[in-house]
Amino acid sequence: MALSAGLIFVNLSHAQEGAVAAGEALYEEHCATCHGERLRPTGAAPDLKNLSVDDRTKFETIVWNGRGQMPSWQGMITDDERAAIWAYIRSRAK
């Protein structure tokens, strides 16, 4: 029992690492021009590392709808890709 629980845990954390790596690549491709390479803010757009764990719904809504100078990403990236970008941002959060 203890062994299988351990295996499940390892598998989940590997899945999480995979999402973070995928999210990093997607972030650099789609978001870094405005939000800064490696999440280092440029001044042109908010520092996404300031989002808290409770801001996920806000993040998802703004990414889908766009806001101000920021374009909408709905139809440009998938739900899974948006979730991977969130996982990447959370992994670097302050």
**Binding site residues, ligand HEC, CB under 6 A:** 30-31, 33-35, 45-46, 48, 51, 59, 62-63, 67-71, 73, 85
Q: Return the ∠ at Cα 19 (arms to 18 and 22), rounded to 5°.
A: 85
Looking from the CA of 20 toward its CB, the CA atoms found within 13 Å total 13
Residue 86, H or E segment: helix 79-91
CB nearer to ligand HEC: give 18 or 71: 71
Least Å from the CB of residue 45 to ligand HEC: 4
Least Å from the CB of residue 91 to ligand HEC: 14
What residues pair up with 67 in beta bridges, in sequence order? 70
Least Å from the CB of residue 71 to ligand HEC: 6
Give the residue at shortest CB distance from ligand HEC.
68
Q: Strand, helix or coil at 36?
A: coil
Least Å from the CB of residue 19 to ligand HEC: 14
Residue type, 91: S
